[in-house]
């Protein structure tokens, strides 16, 4: 742009953000309490402010203006004028350049300085003081973009929930060390669509790639000062802009192309999104965007003292999803990612926070209603983390229909059962059967339970069987951070060992956990690298480890042990696809018979006896047999039988009646064993799991 006009035209209040129409750019930003908002235009380097315009119109609490002859590539920010009255919840300070909440692209990082705060950091009056320094030089700038992309030939996989297998991964960590990807693309969006990455995902039967946060985020000041980084990205700066550090190229189409290639391979893309809080922290945090535009609207504040933020998230602030414009921002962001980037679903970090009304969590909260009725969002896969740290902050099973939920009870029960804890048999049965005790209401289905044995937050699968204590010293918090109870066992030595018996036990238990996961009703979630035994060396909170602690080691994946576990995982997912009973679409309670006196779900013990109430209550019961049966279109009855032995010694199982030949499909204690036929009995090794199948004709 060679010259800038003297003033803005009135423009339109819709849509919010900066919208290029071919002739100019419309700017629209919400603020209910500002007295004036200025648009600041910067040079292409983002360091020199070229012009400042007052937005001329205020419609329905949206400030707007139109800049003729402006176009893609222009850098801009806002300054908001109004009352600086923290004790009333208002923190306007026009000396602070503010990022557009709807910015589609960012230029430059946050450069930490005290000038980013609206108050004088070292003042005795703390945030009641007022800072007059210009923060523009330290602020990233929003960039106007042209987002046209041809999606006409894209075909979304639309995988049914009951057939979904999720793979949680970090964009950078997944491919940073993957030598089969070109060096320039490693750790970037481009690598997600690389044929070798897709080949691996297909090999292990993944149907959905769930990416940890890719919304633009900040590097926390306290981490940078310790020489660390915010690796996970749960500290959002912009809900519409992709994180720039993950690009290998200068175009955002890189991400769109990766999504298209994944779709072509039958793999959906799900984003882990963080709408419960922002990177601005508590009332003592910086003024970067929402705080300076309308603190009293965007954030939940203490009713009796709005100077202070409500902190139900543990990050210092909480977005106020009881406000229509805040809900609109989140819904607009979700819709933007779904339509502009082809995203197939979302996992909501601390999703409970999004359903908080003034009286507490409400499954009928406006935010959930907005998503469920939306013609775009209501058709996507929606998952939630059903907890936060606020009052009543654990609501597993209480979200509305159309939402799936991370099931930590599943994780803890599976870990405790295979560790050999007492009194786990009944609890495990409930988790294997899809956690109907939690989810069977309001027409929900077993897929609502996201079954996991690990996640980014906590021990990896390999560390669950190698460490009994967390080892987070590298995080610089004196090993106080992260979960203190991981329900893990090291099986005789803490960390790496040369003892073959310990290593055999660890490998066996990993295979047994994977067998449990992929034969349970519900939606299984694998964590990237668990399929080949990735370790974080006992770090169960590697949020700041942007290094080989967190990155996938593809050399390990190609080792004999890594290849063997990958093959075992692939066999399990293939069995899950082959036998519909392993992914039944409805809850089973043993009250539906396919014929011949056989029920759809039955429970037995190692003696071949159905469990009595006393057996269920036996704290020493560490063996369990689950049989699921269905009548085929051919008229035959087909069953799958899962034998679980959490005992430290082998156990001979008497197979449930009726008598007949069974085929052992997979055995975690004998991973190299092919399919074999057995008749009445089958021995399962210590901490072992086996899956058997059989058919019978209906008389």
pLDDT grade, residue 699 (50/70/90)? low
pLDDT grade, residue 7 (50/70/90)? very high
Does pLDDT of 203 surpass 90?
yes
Q: pLDDT tens digits for 374-406?
A: 999 999 999 999 999 999 999 999 999 999 999
Active-site residue identified among 385, 405, 530, 602: 385
Neighbours of 575 (CB within 10 A): 19
List all residues 6 or more positions away from 131 whose beta carbon is below 8 Å from its beta carbon: 93, 95, 114, 115, 117, 118, 119, 120, 121
Q: What is the mean pLDDT of residues 489-494?
A: 98
Q: What is the mean pLDDT of residues 195-217?
A: 98
Whole-angstrom CA distances from 387 to 23, 353, 397, 573, 669 are 47, 8, 11, 29, 36
Does pLDDT of 2 surpass 80?
no
Q: pLDDT tens digits for 518-552?
A: 999 999 999 999 999 999 999 999 999 999 999 99
Does pLDDT of 138 surpass 90?
yes
Nearest to 165 by CA among 629, 483, 531: 531
Which tokens is 432 given? 């294997």
Mean pLDDT in the chain? 97
Does pLDDT of 696 surpass 90?
no
Residue 659 DSSP label: P
Secondary structure element (H or E) that encloses residue 464, with its range: helix 461-464
Task: Name the CATH superfamily for 584-697.
Answer: Golgi alpha-mannosidase II (2.60.40.1180)
Q: Quick check: pTM over 0.95? A: yes
Does pLDDT of 81 surpass 70?
yes
Q: What is the mean pLDDT of residues 485-499?
A: 97
Which tokens is 416 given? 């405790």
Nearest to 291 by CA among 76, 35, 17, 90: 90
Active site residue 385: yes
The residue whose two tokens read 């021990």 is: 459
Question: In sequence order, what DSSP letters do the residues of 613-650 get, joined into one string?
Answer: HHHHH-TT--EEEEEEEEE-TTS-EEEEEEEEE-SSS-
What is the spatial order of strands in the sheet that 24-30 belongs to?
17-20, 24-30, 62-68, 57-59
Nearest to 693 by CA among 215, 682, 43: 682
Q: pLDDT tens digits for 657-695?
A: 988 899 999 999 999 999 999 999 999 999 999 999 999
pLDDT grade, residue 698 (50/70/90)? confident
- Tell me whether domains 17-144 and 584-697 share a fold: yes
3-state secondary structure string, 154-221? Answer: CCCCCCCHHHCCEEEECHHHHHCCCCCCCHHHCCCHHHHCCHHHHHHHHHCCCCEEEECCCEEECCCH
Q: At CA 658, angle to CA 655 and CA 663, rounded to 5? A: 55
pLDDT grade, residue 186 (50/70/90)? very high
Residue 410 · residue 334 · CB < 8 Å: no
Q: Could you check whether the bond before residue 408 is cis, i.e. omega within 30 degrees of 0? A: no
* CATH number 2.60.40.10 is the correct assignment for the domain at 17-144: yes
Residue 119 · residue 130 · CB < 8 Å: yes
- Rounded CA-CA distance 207/160 in Å is 10
Active-site residue identified among 185, 349, 440, 667: 349
pLDDT grade, residue 1 (50/70/90)? low
Q: Where are the domains of the chain?
A: 17-144, 584-697
Q: What is the pLDDT, as a whole number, of residue 697?
A: 83
Residue 312 · residue 356 · CB < 8 Å: yes
Active site residue 38: no
Residue 59 · residue 97 · CB < 8 Å: no
Does pLDDT of 258 surpass 90?
yes
Q: What is the pLDDT, as a whole number, of residue 666?
A: 98
Whole-angstrom CA distances from 274 to 156, 322, 346, 444, 452 are 24, 17, 10, 25, 20
Question: In sequence order, what DSSP letters do the residues of 550-619 get, joined into one string?
Answer: TS--HHHHTSHHHHHHHHHHHHHHHHHHH-GGGG-SS---S----BTTB-SEEEE-TTS-BPPHHHHH-T
Which tokens is 205 given? 């039967």
The residue whose two tokens read 């209906």 is: 698
Residue 278 DSSP label: -
Q: What is the pLDDT, as a whole number, of residue 13?
A: 98
The residue whose two tokens read 């999803």 is: 321
Q: pLDDT tens digits for 416-448?
A: 999 999 999 999 999 999 999 999 999 999 999
3-state secondary structure of 367: helix
Does pLDDT of 57 surpass 70?
yes
The residue whose two tokens read 């942007």 is: 546
Least confident of 546-555, 570-579, 624-633: 624-633
């Amino acid at each position: 742009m060679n010259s800038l006009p003297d003033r803005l035209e009135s423009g339109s209040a819709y849509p919010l953000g900066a919208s290029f129409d071919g002739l100019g750019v419309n700017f629209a930003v919400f603020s209910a309490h500002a007295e004036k908002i200025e648009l600041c235009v910067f040079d292409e380097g983002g360091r020199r402010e070229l012009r400042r315009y007052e937005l001329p119109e205020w419609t329905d609490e949206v400030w707007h203006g139109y800049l003729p002859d402006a176009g893609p590539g222009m850098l801009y920010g806002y300054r908001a004028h109004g009352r600086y009255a923290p004790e009333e919840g208002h923190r306007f300070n026009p000396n602070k350049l503010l990022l557009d909440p709807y910015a589609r692209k960012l230029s430059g990082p946050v450069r930490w300085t005290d000038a980013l705060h609206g108050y004088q950091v070292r003042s005795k009056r703390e945030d009641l003081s007022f800072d007059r320094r210009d923060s523009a030089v330290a602020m990233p700038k929003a960039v106007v973009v042209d987002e046209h992309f041809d999606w006409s030939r894209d075909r979304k996989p639309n995988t049914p929930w009951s057939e979904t297998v999720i793979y949680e991964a970090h964009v950078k960590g997944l491919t940073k060390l993957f030598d089969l990807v070109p060096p320039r693309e490693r750790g970037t969006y481009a690598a997600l669509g690389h044929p070798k990455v897709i080949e691996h995902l297909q090999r292990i039967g993944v149907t959905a790639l769930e990416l940890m946060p890719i919304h633009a985020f900040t590097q926390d000041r306290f981490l940078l000062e310790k020489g660390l980084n915010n690796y996970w990205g749960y500290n959002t700066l912009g809900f519409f802009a992709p994180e720039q550090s993950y690009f290998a190229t200068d175009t955002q189409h890189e991400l769109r192309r990766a999504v298209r290639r994944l779709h072509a391979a039958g793999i959906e893309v799900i984003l882990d999104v963080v709408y419960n809080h922002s990177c601005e922290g508590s009332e003592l945090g910086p003024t970067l965007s929402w705080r300076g535009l309308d603190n009293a609207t965007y954030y939940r504040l203490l009713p009796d003292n709005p100077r202070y933020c409500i902190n139900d998230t543990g990050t210092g602030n909480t977005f106020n999803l009881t406000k229509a414009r805040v809900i609109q921002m989140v819904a607009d962001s979700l819709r933007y990612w779904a339509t502009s980037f082809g995203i197939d679903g979302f996992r909501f970090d601390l999703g409970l926070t999004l359903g908080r009304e003034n009286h507490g969590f409400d499954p009928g909260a406006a935010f959930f209603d907005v998503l469920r009725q939306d013609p775009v969002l209501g058709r996507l896969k929606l998952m939630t983390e059903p907890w936060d740290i606020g009052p009543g902050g654990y609501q597993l099973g209480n979200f509305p229909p159309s939402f799936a939920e991370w099931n930590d009870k599943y994780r803890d029960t599976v870990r405790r059962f295979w560790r050999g804890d007492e009194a786990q048999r009944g609890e495990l049965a409930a988790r294997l059967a899809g956690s109907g005790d939690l989810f069977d209401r309001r027409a929900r289905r077993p897929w609502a339970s996201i079954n996991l044995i690990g996640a980014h937050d906590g021990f990896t699968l390999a560390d669950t069987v190698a460490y009994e204590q967390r080892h987070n010293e590298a995080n610089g918090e004196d090993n106080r951070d992260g979960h203190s109870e991981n329900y893990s066992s090291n099986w005789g030595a803490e960390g790496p060992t040369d003892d073959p018996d310990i290593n055999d036990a660890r490998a066996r238990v990993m295979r047994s956990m994977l067998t449990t996961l992929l034969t349970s009703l519900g939606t299984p979630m694998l964590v990237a690298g668990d399929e080949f035994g990735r370790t974080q060396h006992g770090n169960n909170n590697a949020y700041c480890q942007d290094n080989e602690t967190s990155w996938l080691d593809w050399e390990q994946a190609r080792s004999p042990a890594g290849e063997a576990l990958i093959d075992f995982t692939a066999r399990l997912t293939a069995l899950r696809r082959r036998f519909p009973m392993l992914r039944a679409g409805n809850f089973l309670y043993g009250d539906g018979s396919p014929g011949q006196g056989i029920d759809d779900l039955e429970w037995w013990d190692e003696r071949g006896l159905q469990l009595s109430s006393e057996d269920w209550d036996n704290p020493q019961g560490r063996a369990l047999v689950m049989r699921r049966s269905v009548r085929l279109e051919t008229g035959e009855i087909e069953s799958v039988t899962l034998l679980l032995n959490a005992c430290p010694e082998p156990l001979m199982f008497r197979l449930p009646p009726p008598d007949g030949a069974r085929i052992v499909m997979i055995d975690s204690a004998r991973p190299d064993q092919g399919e074999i036929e057995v008749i009445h009995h089958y021995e399962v090794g210590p901490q072992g799991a086996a899956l058997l199948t059989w058919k019978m004709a209906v008389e």
